[in-house]
Every structure is written in C-alpha cells, then in structure tokens.
Amino acid sequence: MRRTWLIFSQAVTVAVAVLFVVATLKPEWLARNPARVLPEIVTLQTAPPPATDAATTAVAHGYRLAAQRAAPAVVSIAASRAPAGSTQFDDPWFRFFFGDRQRQAQPQIGLGSGVIVSPEGYVLTNHHVIDGADDIEVQLADGRTARARLVGTDPESDLAVLKIDLPDLPTVVFGDPGSLQVGDVVLAIGNPFNVGQTVTSGIVSALGRNRLGINTFENFIQTDAAINPGNSGGALVDVDGQLVGINTAIYSRSGGSLGIGFAIPGDVARDVLVALIRDGRVTRGWIGVEPRDLTPEFAEHFGLPVRQGVLITGVLQNGPAGAAGMQPGDVVVRVGDREVADTRQLLDTVAALRPGTEVTIGVQRRGERLDLTVRVAQRPAQPPRQP
C-alpha cells in the first residue's frame, strides 16, 4: 500500500512539472482556440442578441439608419427676390446716358432647408426662409430640382408650406414629439452654409421653450445638435428617423452654432400644414386684449387674493373681451375649464378656440371673482402679439 501511494505521488509530481513547463513555454498548446489567446487584463463580453429596438441599433450602427430614412426627404431651398426697381430705369433719357447696365443688379437669394412630408409634393419649411421670395427652387438630396409653389404661410408660427411636382418623391414619417424627453438623442438634417446636406447629432436639451421673442406662438424643442444658418426649415428627427421638429433658430453671438438650437414641434407643424393646405391660412381664436404676467409685487400692492394669472393692461374697444365687460386691471385666471398662469398659456388657449364660439373666462377684479361670457373672434392675420 505504501509503495502504491509513493508511485502515485511521484506520477502526480511529474505531471504537474510537465504541465508547468508546457504552460510556460507553449501556452497555445493548452488553449482551446489558439487564435484568441489574450492577456488576462482583457475581458471579452458576449455579444448581445440582434438589435430589436432603436436604442440598441444606435449602439451597434450609430445613427446611420435614422439618417438613411430621413435624409432623402430633406431638401435645400433657394428663395430669390428680385432687386428693388427704380423709376429712373423707365426714363428713356436716363437709359440713353447710362444704358441698362444698372438693371443687372443681382437678385437677393436666401438659402434654407425643407422637408417633404407627402408623396404629393408638400414641403414644410420656415416662413422666414421664403418670406418675400419671387422665385423658390427646391433641390432634392438625389440631385433633382424643381420650382416650388407657395401653398401658404403662417408668420406667427414661422412655418410655410410649398408644393413641388416630381415623381417618386421620398417622404419623412411624422414622429410623436409628445414622447420626447430631455436627454433623448436627435439628429438635425439640413443644408448649413450651403455646403450640402449635413447630419448632426445631439440630445433634447429642454422642452417647451418660450418667451424667446422669435415667434408669436412659441413652444420650442431645444437641442444641442449643431444648427447653423441654412438649417432653417430642415428636419429634427429621432433615432427612428421620424420627424419630431422643424429646425428654426439658434442662439448665437457669432452666427454659428453654440449648442443652443430651437425646433418647432412636429405636431404643431403638422397642424399648421393641414390648415394651410385645407384653408390657405391658420385660423385662431382672438379676444382683443393686451396681457402681461401677474407679478407677486403687483398682486400684493393691489391686495389681490390670487398669486398667478394674467394681468389685462388693455382691452380693445368693441373687441370680444371689451363687449363682454372685461376691463384693464382684471386678472384672467381661467379660460373655459382650463386655468391659465401666464401670458403664454392665455395666448395658446385662446388661439385654440374656434372663432364664433362662446367661452366663459374667469377673472379676478380686485376682491371679486367674475365669470364673463366672451364670443371668440378670428385672430387677425398679422396683429400685435396679443391673444
């Protein structure tokens, strides 16, 4: 028995010694896959299952799928305006002495972007891109060009709709801006500085931005995706390549991107699109008042029992609110069944009302709470910024 144990122990010792020598001099002999011998400090992770959602796809492939889906529908827009004429050009003596050379002044050309949203050729862009243009040319990503017809424009939201006639047009799919959250990845697609179609990426930096003095109706998506001159009217898309906004403006001291850009939400753009195609204009409610936010100092000074609402500083004589008995100094706290806390809420709520309908507006008049019945009128085409 003792001899057997001695032989066993010697055999084990020899085997361990051989294993040590092999592991030291020829480690590949012990590896199951000689091609994958790696230092111990490297840890390999098993590849995840095939991507099934946008976030996983983005990790695997970047955002190329989103760009491939949306970019073909993003166009470049050149809007030209004829130079201002002069009555001197109609004077034959002036032409005799100076000729027609001064008539050759170059037209003013504005550059921007747009988004094809239907196979019929409707294109969304910004109002300021085509404002005052005599001729509008659209260039597609595939190189085709077409003259565009202005369907309608809405300066108060800074949106416009064009129409082009070309076959087999690529289109973008509308997404759901309501599902956007701060931190979501977005892509901005357009033609910055006329260098050609460009895709930039960033995140949603903020939602519901307003009081910027850009439009009458403001509810912007803020993003740090690079937006530069020429991007106006282009697409802001999510990681699925769906349209969630129309790029409109930037905050900049240099003229270039500082990482603060603003886009009109896609649902707002869609509503304006439908109204312009159907009616040629956007119909909004209006009551004819001059509002301002109610400050705590004002409320305290006049002993008002409310601390939020909209102070009415002026009422249009014979306007809808004036006819209902509203007075300067009233504080609007409710429109219909919706409470209003600031001027923007009042503006948006009134604008959403159908002209010709009646609405009950709750006001605080010093120490008294009143309900006024106001017949809503149609908002003038380009009035001062007032609800």
**Residue whose token pair is 């009109």:** 264
The distance between the two most distant Cα atoms of the chain, rounded to a whole number of Å, is: 135
Alpha-carbon distance of 14 to 17, in angstroms, equals: 5
What homologous superfamily is domain 285-378 in, according to CATH?
PDZ domain (2.30.42.10)
* Rg (the chain; Cα; Å): 33
Asked if residue 174 lies in contact with residue 273, where contact means CB atoms within 8 angstroms, the answer is no
pLDDT at 251: 76
Asked if residue 266 lies in contact with residue 246, where contact means CB atoms within 8 angstroms, the answer is yes
pLDDT at 376: 93
Structural tokens at position 30? 């012990």
pLDDT at 375: 94
Report DSSP letters for 286-318, one per residue: E--EEEEEPPHHHHHHTT-S-SSSEEEEEE-TT
Alpha-carbon distance of 379 to 281, in angstroms, equals: 11
Indicate the domain borders of the chain.
Answer: 177-279, 285-378
**Residues paired with 262 in a beta bridge:** 222, 249
* Active-site annotation, residues: 128, 158, 232
**Residues paired with 245 in a beta bridge:** 236, 265
Q: What is the DSSP letter of 50?
A: P
pTM of the model: 0.71
pLDDT at 46: 31
pLDDT at 181: 93
Structural tokens at position 29? 């002999």
Contacts of 195 (CB under 8 A, 6+ apart): 230
pLDDT at 384: 42
Write the class of the CATH domain 177-279. Answer: mainly beta
Q: What is the DSSP letter of 56?
A: H
**Kind and range of the H or E run holding 248:** strand 243-250
Q: How far is CA 13 from the centre of its chain?
A: 74
Ranges of the chain whose pLDDT falls below 70: 1-61, 83-108, 252-257, 382-387
pLDDT at 37: 40
